[in-house]
Amino acid sequence: MSKYVPKQSELKQEFEKKKPALLKEDFSGKEWWDLPVEFRDGNWCFPGKPEVLEDLGFPNPRKWAATDADWQLPDGWEKTIKDGLKSRLKRFRSFKLFLDTCVRCGACADKCHFFLGTGDPKNMPVLRAELIRSVYRNDFPLAEKILKGFSGSRKLTAEVIKEWHMYFNQCTECRRCSVFCPMGIDTAEITMMARELLNLIGVNNNWILAPVSNCNRTGNHLGIEPHTFVQNIESLVEDIEDLTGIKVNPTFNRKGAEILFITPSGDVFGDPGVYTMMGYLLLFHHIGLDYTISTYASEGGNFGLFTSNEMMKKLNAKMYHEAERLGVKWILGGECGHMWRVVHQYMDTMNGPANFLEEPVSPITGTRFSNAASTKMVHVAEFTADLIHHNKLKLDPKRNDHLLTTFHDSCNVARGMGMFEEPRYVLKNVCNSFHEMAENTIREQTFCCGSGSGLNAEEFMDIRMRGGFPRASAVRQVQEKHKVNTLVTICAIDRASLPTLMKYWNPGVSVYGLHELVGNALVMKGEKKRTEDLRENPMAGFEEDED
Amino acid sequence: MTIEWGRAVQENKKEILDAWMERSLHLFSGKMAAVSPVAEALSQALGMVLDHCEKNSESLTGALVQLSRILAVQDMPPSRTMSLFFELKKIMTDLFLKSAHKQSLKPVDLDALQSRLEELTLQAFDSYMMQRERICQLKLDENKRMLFMQLRRAEA
């Protein structure tokens, strides 16, 4: 029986406690902290499994559920949280500033996709931050302590921990709110700190910690071992040969290759990521790139970002250790979201500068990527845009005529590193139909998919659909106006989560990686007549001859 | 032929919709801002249901799907969601029995209205369940997509 089917005892409890009835409650005039926190199936993620926590050496491994009355918090958990908060306020000046400087202007309130999609006031970034700020104010700044009761401060209780767990897991760290904050407060960093604190007492999310543990052990989120990783890619190589007649030849762990290519492991095992992988393989073959793929640094994503600074640093270091071991000149990175946030914003001060690598130079065009002088890592969209700009690719955009596209800016790449034009430039060169979504839903104002930052768990589906509502609404507008049927994106989490979001809110819209469309459009030397795209769907105008 | 109660509903649509929307926000236990995209979408869907409530049609089905798609992913049990339609019944009964409209609707029209609202409630429940089933299917599909290469190898 499905794990989602409620038990009879739960239903009985629901009848007794909740007493199904016509609507009577009136919450007007109540304070925000009086609104009850209620965990129900669909609005919480399964906690980390004990064995996962043991693997990672994380505290308080146990079996528990957010719906339990007693969360089995460890003895002295209040002190652990307070000490943890104190230590982080000291270590991260930004965190202290963000807690101190909010003037509650409310500019962020209606910018959060979770607030827009749920309507829940505690999802206003200002109020979400207040969940932790109210505790900070109660225990730390002296003046506020004296004015206790007037300053919105409150005691740290188990209920507060439950509230943190609910609402800091209804923030995808997308940073849309920070774009609009006049004080420059980055609520994502507050969420990161809150999640670190919760991890200290064993309040966590298995969909984040299991990939972290897997990555720690095998080098990728799903825990794929090296031989399976190779077999998956070889299987895609066979698919490419069947479709195009071209045999591409990726190499693995090859010392002395010029470039190490690292992409999210979703591109190697999941649908539709694998079609994006096929696009990369075709592209690299097309230009004769001297590259290798590592079976150890087999993951671009970094769920450490959603866990703790230390874990993020450790998982990021793996990529650079492998680049050094293989003796490559620089790293080319695939279509990923948070991998790029970590590389662009944190790598340099965590593990950099990577002086054992060279400043990236495209071996095909000679372009020097001075923006990657420190990280030595170039985004594949940037790399491909440069190839197209120098007329190095033979492309037939008509091969994508069955796809009427729009582009979803992935939060981490768009807001995190300011990459807006390169993917659009590539997209416009590989297809003939492209329509932008509304201006306030793209580029730096892009809406999150609703499932980022490790919240893509299936048991969290209800909240994900609500959090993704603003993005889905923007897609629906171009679907209705321009008959758009293809949502293109450059993030593995988007490729995993947006198909579900589209099927729920906007049936008829499919999700594609940018380089899948590149792979469709590439005219390969010696290829056979192409009639199908990389998904084996017929390409409009390229049908088989009837005879 | 125009149904009497249908005419009365359309004539008083704004009043009914405002009251229904106000009650709808109570569904969310204070956790739904009245001015938000979801509240707006909800109001639009409720309005569409009222527009097409007279008889079964594709438009009515579309309106119920739009409404249940929003409601099916909220933090509340199905019974609470369905109470929305009992509220509609109450709003209309109050309006047509206690106000000047009383004269315009004969008892036979009021009976017809009650029956139709009960029918609508059941249809809304079916539509709600369809969305819940869809959520289950989406979970299954997502798992399959995540394990795409493993499943392919297993099948081969």
**pLDDT tens digits, one per residue of A401-427:** 999 999 999 999 999 999 999 999 999
* Cβ–Cβ under 8 Å, residues A360 and A329: yes
Lookup: tokens for A509: 């819209």
Burial of residue A506 (CB within 10 Å: 0-12, 13-18, 19+) is buried
Q: How confident is the model at residue B110 (pLDDT cuts 50, 70, 90)?
A: confident
Cβ <8 Å between A25 and B36: no
The reply to whether B154 touches chain A by the CB within 8 Å rule is: no
The reply to whether A270 touches chain B by the CB within 8 Å rule is: yes
- Check whether A315 has a pLDDT greater than 70: yes
Interface mutation target, options B76, B130, B149, chain A, most CBs of A under 10 Å: B149
- CATH topology assigned to domain B4-155: Globin-like (1.10.490)
Q: How confident is the model at residue A23 (pLDDT cuts 50, 70, 90)?
A: low
- Check whether A28 has a pLDDT greater than 70: no
Which helix (H) or strand (E) segment holds residue A80: the answer is: helix A77-91
Nearest residue on chain A to B145, judged by CA atoms? A271
Q: What is the mean pLDDT of residues A268-295?
A: 97
Q: Which residues of B touch A503 (CB under 8 A)?
A: 134, 138, 141
Nearest residue on chain B to A503, judged by CA atoms? B138
- Check whether A193 has a pLDDT greater than 80: yes
Q: Which residues of A touch B138 (CB under 8 A)?
A: 461, 500, 503-504
Interface mutation target, options B26, B75, B129, chain A, most CBs of A under 10 Å: B75
The reply to whether B129 touches chain A by the CB within 8 Å rule is: no
Q: What is the mean pLDDT of residues B107-130?
A: 93
Q: What is the mean pLDDT of residues A272-297?
A: 97
**pLDDT, tens only, A345-390:** 999 999 989 999 999 999 999 999 999 999 999 999 999 999 999 9
Sequence-separated (6 or more) residues with CB below 8 Å from residue B105: B4, B5, B8, B96, B113
Can you tell me the distance from the alpha carbon of A13 to that of A7, in angstroms, rounded to the nearest whole number? Answer: 10
Asked if the bond preceding A226 is cis, omega within 30° of 0, the reply is no
- Check whether B107 has a pLDDT greater than 90: no
Contacts 24+ apart (CB under 8 A), A238-247: A239/A278, A239/A534, A240/A278, A240/A281, A240/A282, A240/A534, A243/A530, A243/A532, A243/A534, A243/A536, A244/A282, A244/A524, A244/A527, A244/A528, A244/A530, A245/A526, A245/A527, A245/A528, A246/A282, A246/A285, A246/A524, A246/A526, A246/A527
Can you tell me the distance from the alpha carbon of A133 to that of A98, in angstroms, rounded to the nearest whole number? Answer: 9
- Check whether A432 has a pLDDT greater than 60: yes
**What's the pLDDT score for residue B7?**
87
Can you tell me the distance from the alpha carbon of A430 to that of A518, in angstroms, rounded to the nearest whole number? Answer: 6
Sequence-separated (6 or more) residues with CB below 8 Å from residue A487: A405, A406, A407, A408, A475, A498, A502, A509, A510, A511, A512
The reply to whether B28 touches chain A by the CB within 8 Å rule is: yes
- Check whether B102 has a pLDDT greater than 60: no
* Cβ–Cβ under 8 Å, residues B37 and B70: no
Q: Which of A172, A36, A50, A54 is nearest to A113 (CA)?
A: A172
- Check whether A533 has a pLDDT greater than 80: yes
- Check whether A283 has a pLDDT greater than 80: yes
- Check whether A17 has a pLDDT greater than 70: no
Sequence-separated (6 or more) residues with CB below 8 Å from residue A530: A243, A244, A399, A539, A542
Can you tell me the distance from the alpha carbon of B106 to that of B94, in angstroms, rounded to the nearest whole number? Answer: 15
Q: How confident is the model at residue A27 (pLDDT cuts 50, 70, 90)?
A: low
Cβ <8 Å between A461 and B73: yes
Please tell me the least confidently modeled range out of A21-35, A438-452, A454-468. A21-35
**What's the pLDDT score for residue B93?**
87
Q: Of the spans A37-51, A245-259, B80-94, which averages the highest pLDDT?
A: A245-259
* Cβ–Cβ under 8 Å, residues A463 and A39: no
Helix, strand, or coil here: B83? Answer: helix
Helix, strand, coil shares of chain A, percent, nearest 5, are 50, 5, 45
Smallest Cβ–Cβ distance between A121 and the set B33, B86, B152 belongs to B33
Q: Which residues of A touch B32 (CB under 8 A)?
A: 118-120
- Check whether A2 has a pLDDT greater than 70: no
* Cβ–Cβ under 8 Å, residues A341 and A329: no
* Cβ–Cβ under 8 Å, residues B26 and A23: yes
Q: What is the mean pLDDT of residues A211-228?
A: 94
**What's the pLDDT score for residue A1?**
42
H helix intervals, chain B: 4-11, 13-26, 37-51, 58-71, 78-98, 107-146, 148-155
Does the pTM of the predicted model rise above 0.80? Answer: yes
The C-alpha of A463 sits at a distance from chain B's nearest C-alpha, in angstroms, of 7
Lookup: tokens for B8: 């009365």
Domain range summary for chain B, segments of one domain joined by +: 4-155
Backbone phi and psi for residue A489, each to the nearest 5 degrees, phi listed first:
-150, 165
**What's the pLDDT score for residue B1?**
44
In order of start, what are the domains of chain A with their CATH numbers?
30-204 (1.10.1060), 217-389 (1.20.1050), 397-521 (3.40.50)
Mean pLDDT of chain B: 89
Mean pLDDT of chain A: 92
**What's the pLDDT score for residue A59?**
96
